[in-house]
Amino acid sequence: MPNQCSCLNTPAHGASPRLLALSCAAAIATFASPALLAQNTSEQRAIEEIMVTSSTRRPESLANVNASVGVLSQEELTLVSHQHIQEVANRLAGVNINRNNGQESLTAIRSPVLTGSGACGAFLLAEQGIPLRAAGFCNVNELFDANSENASRIEVIRGPATAFYGSNAVHGMINVVLPDPSAGGDLTLEAGPRGTTRINGTLGMDYGNFKHMFLANGTSENGYRDNSGYDQQKLSWRYQYQTDGGALLDGGFTLTNLNQETAGYVEGTDSYKDDALRDSNPNPEAYRDNQSLRAWTRISKTLDNGWELVATPYYRNTDLVFIQHFLPGAPTEDNKHSSVGLQFASYKDLSTNTMLSFGVDTEVTQGSLGQQQPGPTVGSAFLAGTIPAGKHYDYDVDATQIAPFAHLQHYWENGFDISLGLRYERMEYDYDNKMIDGRTRDNGVPCGFGGCRYNRPADRSDSFGNWAPKLAVRYQINETHNAQLRLNKGYRAPQATELYRLQNNQSVADLDPVEIDSAEVGLDGAADLWQYSVTAYYMDKDNEIITDSNRLNLNNSHTKHRGVELSGALDLSDQWRVSGAYNFARHTYENDEISGGVNINGNDVDTAPRKFGSFQLRWQPMASLFTELEWVSSGKYYTNPENLNEYAGHDILNLRTRWQATSDITLALNILNLTDEKYAERADFSFGNDRYFPGEPVRAFFSVNWKFQ
């Protein structure tokens, strides 16, 4: 691939020609984003400079980012045309999202699949760099709030995120990036089994210094399992305006709605293989209704003294109502919050090789949670006596977040570069209980058996502060290979539900922030026909918040996480290409804890496969035709902390084909689970039973895309 780096004609921050060669090699090696679609096989492939925003919150070349960043390009997103974000995100190294039912998900990035009321706090999930939920108010399923179906790219930072992002970026970050507005548009119609219909469209207009675009999609599906259909709609508006004074305004909004009939676990060992059980739904009454709105404007201007100032005010509102079918009595929860916030950052090139940035993030949130059970609990006398009908919780929480940060990056002529970052974050909660304090029924009458299960703390305030330093060093070994070392610290404050949604005799949750220390080394390289990336990481996490066997929220878990991530691509010929990412990982408990009569110290954390990944074989016989065969593999994993029960894992094949029939019309056929494998999207062991969310059988989706000007 001679002269393919000509697109990078000037090194960032005045870097040396030697660094320019490194930048070019890294731009080629977008290992997590191997799909370069619709290329003429008779021409040499042009390698475009890949821009990312998740590292420093402003566009920069991926080649100049010293972080474990994976990118899913718009071409790859178009090819996969995901029904659920898991289908595309799991193509990246280190990512292992589990799909539950419908649009539900559980995230894993360099981690086990984490569960529990505050486990979602281990990941920062964002759109346009703005978190989908407020700090302290996460939800395990919040990825359905992002308009990933209309994204131009999805960026993933593996491991603790940079100084520009704070609480919740413990194991990693997913940032959905919407396209810049442009004139024209397109419309896609898709049909599939069980009444599945989808529509996806964009419409943009360019008026010179002002341009804007609408991006919309909607899905309706009856569901493979009984009473498991859903309807989902998303609408985004993007605009850009260049003022006469030289300021750039870049903003918009995203509005989402989800109405889902929820299917619960099927129970019994290997029940996901049983044709009579795998499409059943033991919880036909369950549902999930979710609405969200985010609006933002990014204001940027470069001053005469060279400082670039960027301020992003934003507004967020979410409302989620669902039946907790997994709890005795199946109570209904209604949680909502609204936030106003400001992200401010300033950037300056101090010299040709040095860039300095500092800023501050602030956010104010008003949140509330209510839980109510319409009827008596069915079950043992103990359950019926301790979980009464009526209101269980009704509280408000006001939260304030403030976080100053600084970042310095410097390049040397000898091939070294260094990144230094530091962030301090302070979280304050003001909790107001709207019910009677304590463990009584909602009318004040005590429960039998020592008290009601649900405990409502008295009004209180809590605050948390954390420092998060970062050091990253990179060295260019030669013109096409480089090595990196990164040392990071991550943290998260306890979530509001962990502090104030208490049970049994716990009236105060005396919790500390979760902290993680991370170290990783990496090696990247590229040649004429192949690219590769190898990263090894080690993370030590302390103060992990768990709910113990007495249903008390405690800082009672210490875990370690280590692994090796491999990714790359190889051009077999002008028509054939193979690419993929594979992971070897081990996640273990590191403290003495008796669970089920077993000391779990040294055991694997449950739902943490040691091996997983995916590979893609691409065939492009002509510029207008593209076919990909994908192999998705999940190794076995334990389903309980005692490591006494396990899921055997699975291997799935997917086949995707796109044909550009005319200059305006593209036809696509996606066949998922090509061999009709019986597998589990998620396996679990609880209440003495193996439980599963069964995977769907073979299914095909046909779509037509029309591009218009």
What is the DSSP track for 200-246? EEEEEEE-SSEEEEEEEEEEEE--SSTT--EEEEEEEEEEEEE-TTS
Report the alpha-carbon distance of residue 96 to residue 633 in Å, rounded.
Answer: 11
Task: List pLDDT tens digits, range 286-330.
Answer: 999 999 999 999 999 999 999 999 999 999 999 999 999 989 999
Selected residue with higher pLDDT from 15 and 492: 492
Q: Which two tokens stand for residue 591?
A: 């403290």
In the three-class reduction of DSSP (H, G, I as helix; E, B as strand; rest coil), residue 360 is classed as strand
Rounded alpha-carbon distances, angstroms, from residue 528 to 36, 44, 585, 694? 15, 11, 30, 43
Report the alpha-carbon distance of residue 111 to residue 120 in Å, rounded.
Answer: 12
**Residues 6+ positions from 176 with CB-CB distance below 8 Å:** 126, 127, 128, 146, 147, 148, 151, 154
pLDDT (0 to 100) of residue 402: 97
- Domain that residue 622 falls in: 4-708
Phi then psi dihedrals of residue 120, to 5 deg: -60, -20
Task: List pLDDT tens digits, range 273-296.
Answer: 999 999 999 999 999 999 999 999
When pLDDT is averaged across residues 476-500 and rounded to a whole number, the result is 94
Indicate the pLDDT class of residue 24, thresholds 50, 70 and 90. very low
Phi then psi dihedrals of residue 382, to 5 deg: -65, -50
Number of Cβ within 10 Å of residue 98's Cβ equals 21
Are 513 and 493 within 8 A, CB to CB? yes
In the three-class reduction of DSSP (H, G, I as helix; E, B as strand; rest coil), residue 538 is classed as strand
Are 523 and 481 within 8 A, CB to CB? yes
- Flag whether pLDDT at 149 surpasses 50: yes
Q: Residue 74 belongs to a domain with what CATH number?
A: 2.40.170.20
Number of Cβ within 10 Å of residue 445's Cβ equals 11
Are 323 and 286 within 8 A, CB to CB? yes
When the pLDDT of each residue in the chain is averaged and rounded to a whole number, the result is 91
Strands 308-323 and 332-351: antiparallel
pLDDT (0 to 100) of residue 117: 78
- N- to C-terminal Cα separation, the chain: 34
Q: Which two tokens stand for residue 345?
A: 């950052």
Task: List pLDDT tens digits, range 85-105.
Answer: 999 999 999 999 999 889 999
Which of 216-225, 377-386, 495-504, 525-534 is the least confident region?
A: 525-534
- Flag whether pLDDT at 12 surpasses 60: no
3-state secondary structure 634-695: ECCEECCCCCCCEECCEEEEEEEEEEECCCCEEEEEEEECCCCCCCEEEEEEECCEEEEEEC
pLDDT (0 to 100) of residue 43: 30
Report the alpha-carbon distance of residue 242 to residue 209 in Å, rounded.
Answer: 5
- Flag whether pLDDT at 47 surpasses 50: no
Q: Which two tokens stand for residue 265?
A: 């676990």
- Flag whether pLDDT at 133 surpasses 50: yes
- Flag whether pLDDT at 594 surpasses 50: yes
Report the alpha-carbon distance of residue 104 to residue 85 in Å, rounded.
Answer: 10
When pLDDT is averaged across residues 203-217 and rounded to a whole number, the result is 97
Are 56 and 14 within 8 A, CB to CB? no
Are 97 and 112 within 8 A, CB to CB? no
Report the alpha-carbon distance of residue 56 to residue 64 in Å, rounded.
Answer: 11
pLDDT (0 to 100) of residue 49: 60
In the three-class reduction of DSSP (H, G, I as helix; E, B as strand; rest coil), residue 528 is classed as coil
Are 155 and 53 within 8 A, CB to CB? yes
CA-closest candidate to residue 189, choices 692, 562, 705, 660: 705
- Flag whether pLDDT at 40 surpasses 50: no
**Residues 6+ positions from 164 with CB-CB distance below 8 Å:** 55, 56, 57, 345, 359, 405, 407, 421, 423
- Flag whether pLDDT at 45 surpasses 50: no
- Flag whether pLDDT at 112 surpasses 90: yes
- Flag whether pLDDT at 367 surpasses 90: yes
- Put simply, whether the predicted model's pTM sits higher than 0.85 gets the answer yes
Q: Which two tokens stand for residue 261?
A: 């009939």
- Flag whether pLDDT at 32 surpasses 80: no
Task: List pLDDT tens digits, range 677-687.
Answer: 999 999 999 88
Burial of 246 (0-12, 13-18, 19+ CB in 10 A): exposed
- Flag whether pLDDT at 526 surpasses 70: yes
- Flag whether pLDDT at 15 surpasses 60: no
**Residues 6+ positions from 687 with CB-CB distance below 8 Å:** none
Are 159 and 520 within 8 A, CB to CB? yes
pLDDT (0 to 100) of residue 405: 96
pLDDT (0 to 100) of residue 284: 95
Number of domains in the chain: 1
Q: Give residue for tokens 């405690």.
A: 554
3-state secondary structure 395-462: EEEEEEEEEEEEEEEEECCCCEEEEEEEEEEEEEEEEEECCCCECCCCCCCCCCCCCCCEEECCCEEE
**Greatest alpha-carbon span in the chain:** 80
Are 431 and 459 within 8 A, CB to CB? yes
Which of 14-23, 297-306, 468-477 is the least confident region?
A: 14-23
**Residues 6+ positions from 150 with CB-CB distance below 8 Å:** 178, 179, 200, 202, 215, 216, 217, 234, 236
**Residues 6+ positions from 85 with CB-CB distance below 8 Å:** 97, 105, 143, 144, 146, 148, 154
Strands 530-547 and 553-571: antiparallel
Q: Which two tokens stand for residue 151?
A: 């994204």
When pLDDT is averaged across residues 614-619 and rounded to a whole number, the result is 98
Are 227 and 280 within 8 A, CB to CB? no
pLDDT (0 to 100) of residue 393: 98
pLDDT (0 to 100) of residue 561: 98
When pLDDT is averaged across residues 228-240 and rounded to a whole number, the result is 98
When pLDDT is averaged across residues 665-685 and rounded to a whole number, the result is 97
In the three-class reduction of DSSP (H, G, I as helix; E, B as strand; rest coil), residue 4 is classed as helix
459 - beta bridge partners? none
Are 643 and 620 within 8 A, CB to CB? no
pLDDT (0 to 100) of residue 539: 98
pLDDT (0 to 100) of residue 317: 98
